[in-house]
Amino acid sequence: MKLRVDLLPDSHYPDVALVIDVLRATTTAVALLERGAGGLLLTRTAEDALGVRAVRPEVLLAGERGGLTIPGFDLGNSPVEVGEAAVAGRQVVMTTTNGTGAAWRAAQSARHVVLAALINAHAVARHALAVASEEIAIVCAGTDGRVGLDDVYAAGVIAEYLLALGDFQVDDGARIALTMRRGGGDPGEALRGSGHGATLEKLGLGADVDFAAQLSTSRLIPTLVPGDDVPVGALRFLAG
């Protein structure tokens, strides 16, 4: 089995793609499903999200640009805020700066797409190994087209779990992620030491960074489930 870590989204994912935007989109996605959201619909743009609500008025809209809630949306991209919101049974449409784009990119080719974070790292690793037939690719969303230490560190955590579970041929991206995991301090230090973690702290969102730094507190695996009933312009993720 191959293990590949893309420090930024690439293309041609033949098998399993684990998409990471640990600060904060994929962490928030797991938190939403933990709170009982009935499903997530990821759109690339705010316009697409509003388009979904136009035909499905019952959905909640969650999303950020530049770290802040999009005007007119019900929720931002904060896992802490989500933990206090009434989302049980609701479909949530999400759009974020980096994470949703990365999920869309992976979904163009991958057979299995899963949203991964530190809070579901162990569950995601076990799931990936169970469904993979040739390759597990960990896809770091990055921040505005640049490599993010936060995502690479989280990739290293998942890579480390995978290496404990099976035998892999690893690429240089995986070697780099593993070294970051081993030399980058504990998850809180690593996320707070990343450029995007520092930006969130400055925006008063340090509690989100601390939330995202929790290791394997959830067993939920947001899994791409296409279907005729998914609105155009959206990717549907259900709790797996």
By the rule CB under 8 A, 138 interacts with a second copy: no
2-6 and 135-140 as β-strands: parallel, antiparallel, unpaired? parallel
Of the candidate residues 35, 111, 126, 175, the single one contacting a second copy (CB under 8 A): 175
Q: How far apart are CA 103 and CA 25, in angstroms?
A: 10
By the rule CB under 8 A, 78 interacts with a second copy: no
Of the candidate residues 38, 83, 188, 193, the single one contacting a second copy (CB under 8 A): 193
Q: Are 60 and 10 in contact (CB under 8 A)?
A: no
Of the candidate residues 39, 148, 187, 222, the single one contacting a second copy (CB under 8 A): 148
Residue of 33, 41, 26, 35 whose CA lies nearest to 85: 35
202 binds, among a second copy, Ca ion, none (CB under 5 to 8 A by kind): none
176 binds, among a second copy, Ca ion, none (CB under 5 to 8 A by kind): a second copy
Residue of 78, 69, 137 whose CA lies nearest to 103: 137
Of the candidate residues 180, 212, 220, 234, the single one contacting a second copy (CB under 8 A): 180
Of the candidate residues 27, 78, 96, 143, the single one contacting a second copy (CB under 8 A): 143
Tokens of 48: 């697409």
Cβ 184 to a second copy shortest distance, Å:
6
Q: How far apart are CA 62 and CA 229, in angstroms?
A: 20
Interface residues toward Ca ion, by CB under 5 A:
21, 23, 25, 96-99
Total binding residues toward a second copy, as defined by CB under 8 A: 25
Q: How far apart are CA 56 and CA 37, in angstroms?
A: 15
